[in-house]
Structure 1
Amino acid sequence: MQIETLLYIILAGIIALSLALFQYVYKSKKRTKVHIVLTLLRFLTLFSVFLLLINPKFDKITYFNEKPNLLIAVDNSESVKYLDQDQKTRDLVAFLKENKSLNERFNLEFFSFGKDINTLDTLSFNEKQTNPTLLFERFSQVYGNSIAPLVMITDGNQTYGNDYEFAAQNYKHPIFPVILGDTTRYTDLKIEQLNVNKYAYLKNKFPIEIIAIYNGLDDVSSQLTISSGSTIVFSENLTFNKEHSSRLVTLTLPASISGVHSYKAELKPLANEKNTVNNIKNFAVEVIDRKTHVAIISDLIHPDLGALKNAIESNEQREASIVTPTEFMSLSYDFQQAILYQPNQSFKLIYDEILALNINAFTILGTKTNWLEFNKLQPYMQQTVTNQYEDFQPALNSNYNVFIVDDLNFSDFPPLQTEFGATTFSIPTEVILYKTVNGIQLKEPLLLTYEVNEKRAVILNGEGIWRWRAQSFLDEKSFHGFDNFIGKIIQYLDSNKKRARLNVSYESFYSGNDNVILTAQFFNKTYEFDNTANLEITIKNKENDQSQTVPFILRQSNYQVDLSGLEAGDYTFTVKARNENISQSGEFKILDYNVEQQFLNANVSKLQNLASQSQGTSYFINDTNTLIEQLIKDERFATIQKSTKKVVPLIDWKFLLAFIALSLSAEWFIRKYNGLI
């Protein structure tokens, strides 16, 4: 309590006593017992009122002990079961949970991890991917300011994400890996890597690159075959020994029939080989009968051009060439689409040529656009020319219904720059992105599509789209989101199909370890997105005719269904709306491949390095008693005494009010009883 407050209390007591004495002693000139009692009651009343006004407070300090956290992360991937360590792992987790000494020393928190991290409930060992990097990224955020050693129960084999050994450098606490498996080296042949393009073009040849690895000491030989169905399309004999333990095989196969074709690459197993699963890799190639060639026409040198070219060519079905207007005029028949980047007076012949060739165009406008000339070159859009520029950020139109647009967090993207002024259109348009300024959404379009005379067009009214691609990479650690967004625009311009109320987006084939996710959009009769639709998908396996029906789940501006649990095989599907007679069918293939079954041993050296660099210790699963002893005795993990300081009132105002009421009541009754009222 402050001295100033204490002085106020003393002064309040003096004033209260003075007022009480003045009323019942000095003023009445009597000093009977009744007057003394009344004086005391009046003093207590007045003093309590003054205390209520002063509201004295003091600091209350409480002390408590905080035990260190012990994070226990358990590998829940299929490789643990494949290495026959699943039951040992369950027993270890149960032992740690019940260990009395460990629970007295630490706050135990259990997690399981595969492709993601979850609070540990039960261990199923059915995760198809392993990404230990997430442990260090998320635990660093949550437990960065507390003591939190990590016990990592795993075989150390990673199949997904960035290298966890480097990611662990950001985790500032000791790591104690418990290694599932042993160091025994088995003789093994495996296909380490198979590289092949996802797409090939009809009547061309597509390249395949295979890296085969041998672990062993003796000289061995095997046969590498590639088959399609029951037909062997390639065969080669390979020899290995201790010094030459890897072989690189390159070949090409013909793409003679359009469609999806699946293949199987196989190394003939050795007589004493323990793991033969990693001798086989399935892959598929989609043969397409044409390739979209896009012309990016510009008189400028700008980073937007490179961003567009890279985004378009991320899909091997497409090729982009950056050309000047003059070059386009001599090569125009080689292109199926055109991107007109910031048109000027030299584009007059370009517009005439595009009209003659009847190809669709994507126009990008900005600060280098000759607006007066652009307004003359085409009749559909007219821009007010102010010769002033403004930065506009994008805002996604969730009601856009021409094709499925995923939200890439557009509102957080850098602004694009373009002419300041009103824009008018003489035809109906569909807006993908609106302009926003300082967080206020305008009714003006930033990105839009339109159709006229069976021709499609897209207009982006802003330059600087290369920043969007860079921001997409920063957000997702990949260009895939942005490239897919541009790819959908190119696909829209590449097709003149009639608009449908139900649109389904999916891949022709999926790898066995990929997420099999299909997305759909459903529109009402006025082509507005319907978020109340009841969509379901019926999937049928072509081989065994087994089928199942799964509902779609609404995800912001589209519907999604996750079919990642399906077995490898060929599937047909039908998506339909329950309340309307609208459906769409298709087919896809899931390749048979389980990356978790490619390992023979635990990655002992990597886990030992991980422990060493974090000042922890690695243990095999049979040495967990030693681990527990070290954790309990380690002085780095001491219990910390902490304190909390709270400013609390000296007296509860509710009790003080009750006391004032009681005191006044007692004074009134005494005065009434003695005839003083």
Structure 2
Amino acid sequence: MSFYFQHHWLWFLLGVAVALAASLMVYYKPSPYFDRKLRIILGALRFSGLVIIVFLLMKPTSKRTIQEEIRPSIVIGFDHSASMLIHEDEKVLKNQWIEVRERWNKKFGDKFLLDWVGFESALTTADSHYFTGEETNLSAPIQYAKQRYTDDRRQALILFTDGWHNTGLDPWTGADQLNHPVYTIVYGDTIKRPDAAIERVTHNAFVYQGNKLEVESELSFKQLKGKNAKITLYIEGASLMSKTISIDNAQALEKVSFEVPTGKMKGLQRMRIAIEPMEGENFTENNQRDFVVEILDTKKKIWLLGKHPHPDLGALRNALEDGGRNEVLVAFSEEIPNATEQPDLVVLHNMPVSNALQFKIEGVPTLYLIGSSSVISGLNLEPRRQNPELVQPLINRNFSKFSIDDWWSNNARKLPPIETYSPRLNAAANSILSTCIVEGIATERPLIIAWENSGIPMVAINGLGIWQWRLHTFKETGSHQVFNDFIGQIFRYLGSVQKNQRLFVNYPQRVREGRSVIFDARMYDAAYQSTQEAKLSLQLFRNNEELFRYDFMENNDAYRLSIRDLDTGNFSFRVEGILGEEKIQTSGQFVVEAFQLENQRNEANTEGMSDLSLRSGGFMVFPNEISKIESALEELVSDRILRERLKMRPLIDIWWFILLLVLIFASEWFLRRRMGSY
């Protein structure tokens, strides 16, 4: 152990000299109260106390090297998806996991840093043993462990799961990159039984009326060699066409395609591919797969206009051309379209609006991506920044003009930052879809806003660089669908009002079973000013029969209605707005889709989990072999790793220094008091 002062030692010598002088001034001269011996004692007490004070004012610090043991991290993940209950009892599974957690905390809590998590489509808490997850993302705990791990080879990841992965990044690739063992405890049926399953259905999300719809299905057959399988395509519950194939191998993978003439079909069509149950199958939940196709009779013409070429325009074009449902034209400032007809929708990317362009897009719903050159009528974009500021989005959960997927509310703040040039964009609170996060701090500055200009919807994104959001969502979800749907919802809002339309309703066309259907409505008076003096109601129909009638509730300056617990199927609705003596109506349709990812497997994925574990240096066990995992953990921690750490402690934090000071000055006071000095 050593000591050092935070101030130069000469200051200490000066302080000692001052302490000596102060003591001599009081006790050097003879006193009628004290004899010479007592003056020496009192002077020594005063001097000692002052020296200690000077010593502490020098901020002395002790410095010593200590050794401490490094505890490795262990991430333990529990699969909370619904497929865990296909062959397991919920209560038994909960109790087993609780028992394992308590035993391991007691046995390994002082040896490892145990991090308990749950996972389904994303990470959850370990305590949420509900088994209601609609998807399984095995890469979520792997990526989490990758972020937490250091170079300590004694770390590990342990997964309690049935082994089936159906969303997110590839977990096997993630395990290769982990450089630490992954141990898997696999649940489910391990007996190979006869089983036919629909692995994948590929189809167009949109097709135009009169064109053929192509549907391709990928089918797997296990232990069904020599049998024939009948595959049928249904539309709205009615059989449309069938095919029969022969199965030639014990493990077979077949593809079956259908070409469906759309004829005069229109709107959302609910379809199903089904394999007729086969002899020996005891699990047929995975023999069918539902999907929805929208039959379009018109295309929207969309202009993407930019000052210069930019990756944002490519990202928007890909999103808007998804399924071929829109005619998208990309042009730049020197190539303004010379068209006689107005587009249905316009995107202006960092684009100043000339008189000629303003004439062509007058009254057209517009998405603005604001840059250093943007000009928007009715919005003050000044002052402009010479250098852009990097900001991230923070979704306003009270926004009511249209709804977006929950993914954005939960994950938008993790998106890459975009560049903004106008820090003082003004907007009403109910128009703000997203505010800005600046250098990690949430602000109230608008980033994405939506408003109406004389009844025409407008949206502005106060920045450039949303192409990065497309890449990030693909990295996180394995698909561009999240980004495409986000852009699609913006354009559904922009396209929801026709010229002179006074009642419009925004709603999702596809809804997962078990989720709420949210309708956001807006009503305008004869002067095309938004009003809340109207009474809005919705009639819900199925097969042309009225099911229910609902009333909208006021929501900020608009109206909102949420409907829950609808069965799968096609629904239509009619919204009526009453303003004074006027009645205005609009209608639409949507479909509630069955979500079937978690009922596609009837056995444990032992091969996949064994491969994942072996790739990383771990191994797979069954629930009755958990003791093998415990033995592996004991081996990991058998090699102790010690590290030296410099421990520094200010001496003023030592309590007995203060006690010594109190005793010294208390003794001086007591002696003076006893001799009659006070």
Q: Same fold (TM over 0.5)?
A: yes
Query: Which stretch shows the higher mean deviation, 610-619 or 395-404?
Result: 395-404
Please report the TM-score for the alignment, with normalisation by the length of structure 2: 0.72
Render the CA deviation track for 1:508-549: whole Å, top value 9, x for unaligned: 22345x96574858999999999xxxx999999999999999
Query: Which stretch shows the higher mean deviation, 300-309 or 135-144?
Result: 300-309
Match of 1:213 among 189, 208, 220: 220
What's the CA shift for 1:602?
A: 2.2
The residue number in structure 2 matching 1:613 is 615
The residue number in structure 2 matching 1:470 is 468
Q: What letter corresponds to residue 114 of structure 1 in structure 2?
A: E
Contact 2:448 2:460 (8 Å CA) reproduced = yes
CA distance in 1, matches of 2:149, 2:585: 49
Contact 1:395 1:433 (8 Å CA) reproduced = no
The residue number in structure 2 matching 1:98 is 103
Are the structure 2 counterparts of residues 3 and 359 from structure 1 closer, same or farther at C-alpha, using a change threshold of 3 Å? closer
What's the CA shift for 1:220?
A: 1.2
CA distance in 1, matches of 2:322, 2:594: 25
Render the CA deviation track for 1:620-658: whole Å, top value 9, x for unaligned: 223222332232234566475776723131654643553
Contact 1:13 1:47 (8 Å CA) reproduced = no
Contact 1:66 1:642 (8 Å CA) reproduced = no
Render the CA deviation track for 1:214-237: whole Å, top value 9, x for unaligned: 223621102111223452111111
The residue number in structure 2 matching 1:579 is none
Match of 2:84 among 69, 80, 84: 80
CA distance in 2, matches of 1:546, 1:102: 58
Matches within 5 A, 1:442-453: 451=453
Contact 2:306 2:350 (8 Å CA) reproduced = yes
Q: What letter corresponds to residue 200 of structure 2 in structure 1?
A: Q
Structure 2 residue ranges without an equivalent (≥5): 426-430, 577-583
SS of match in other structure, 2:418: coil
Are the structure 2 counterparts of residues 161 and 12 from structure 1 closer, same or farther at C-alpha, using a change threshold of 3 Å? same
The residue number in structure 1 matching 2:235 is 228
CA distance in 1, matches of 2:658, 2:331: 83
Match of 2:148 among 142, 149, 152: 142
The residue number in structure 2 matching 1:251 is 259
Q: What letter corresponds to residue 73 of structure 1 in structure 2?
A: G
Matches within 5 A, 1:431-510: 451=453, 456=456, 465=464, 467-474=465-472, 477=475, 483-484=484-485, 486-487=487-488, 490-494=491-495, 495-496=497-498, 505-510=506-511
Are the structure 2 counterparts of residues 7 and 459 from structure 1 closer, same or farther at C-alpha, using a change threshold of 3 Å? closer
Are the structure 2 counterparts of residues 457 and 670 from structure 1 closer, same or farther at C-alpha, using a change threshold of 3 Å? closer
SS of match in other structure, 1:184: coil
The residue number in structure 2 matching 1:189 is 196
The residue number in structure 2 matching 1:426 is none
The residue number in structure 1 matching 2:626 is 624
Q: What letter corresponds to residue 58 of structure 1 in structure 2?
A: S
CA distance in 2, matches of 1:82, 1:604: 16
* Count of matched residue pairs: 634
CA distance in 1, matches of 2:299, 2:491: 12
Q: What letter corresponds to residue 277 of structure 1 in structure 2?
A: E
The residue number in structure 1 matching 2:428 is none
SS of match in other structure, 1:2: strand
Whether 1:282 and 2:280 are equivalent positions in the alignment is no
Are the structure 2 counterparts of residues 43 and 515 from structure 1 closer, same or farther at C-alpha, using a change threshold of 3 Å? farther
What's the CA shift for 1:249?
A: 1.7
Match of 1:591 among 582, 590, 593: 593
Render the CA deviation track for 1:592-635: whole Å, top value 9, x for unaligned: 23212211332223322322232222222232223322322345
Are the structure 2 counterparts of residues 342 and 516 from structure 1 closer, same or farther at C-alpha, using a change threshold of 3 Å? same
CA distance in 2, matches of 1:298, 1:3: 65
CA distance in 2, matches of 1:247, 1:165: 25
Contact 1:73 1:110 (8 Å CA) reproduced = yes
Matches within 5 A, 1:377-388: none
CA distance in 2, matches of 1:561, 1:144: 47
Match of 1:131 among 126, 132, 137: 137
- Percent identity over the alignment is 19
CA distance in 2, matches of 1:11, 1:443: 57
What's the CA shift for 1:158?
A: 0.5
SS of match in other structure, 2:165: coil
Are the structure 2 counterparts of residues 637 and 497 from structure 1 closer, same or farther at C-alpha, using a change threshold of 3 Å? farther
Q: What letter corresponds to residue 228 of structure 2 in structure 1?
A: S
Contact 1:394 1:415 (8 Å CA) reproduced = yes
Whether 1:164 and 2:171 are equivalent positions in the alignment is yes
What's the CA shift for 1:482?
A: 5.5
Are the structure 2 counterparts of residues 505 and 149 from structure 1 closer, same or farther at C-alpha, using a change threshold of 3 Å? farther
Contact 2:199 2:219 (8 Å CA) reproduced = yes
What's the CA shift for 1:475?
A: 6.2
The residue number in structure 2 matching 1:427 is none
What's the CA shift for 1:268?
A: 0.8
CA distance in 2, matches of 1:523, 1:170: 55
The residue number in structure 2 matching 1:200 is 207
Matches within 5 A, 1:264-283: 264-283=272-291
Render the CA deviation track for 1:7-49: whole Å, top value 9, x for unaligned: 988997798678757865x64399x995323421331122112
Contact 1:223 1:268 (8 Å CA) reproduced = yes
Contact 2:303 2:331 (8 Å CA) reproduced = yes
Q: RMSD of aligned C-alpha atoms?
A: 5.9
Q: What letter corresponds to residue 130 of structure 2 in structure 1?
A: S
Are the structure 2 counterparts of residues 659 and 261 from structure 1 closer, same or farther at C-alpha, using a change threshold of 3 Å? same
Render the CA deviation track for 1:529-573: whole Å, top value 9, x for unaligned: 99xxxx999999999999999999x99x9999796x866456789
Q: What letter corresponds to residue 136 of structure 1 in structure 2?
A: I
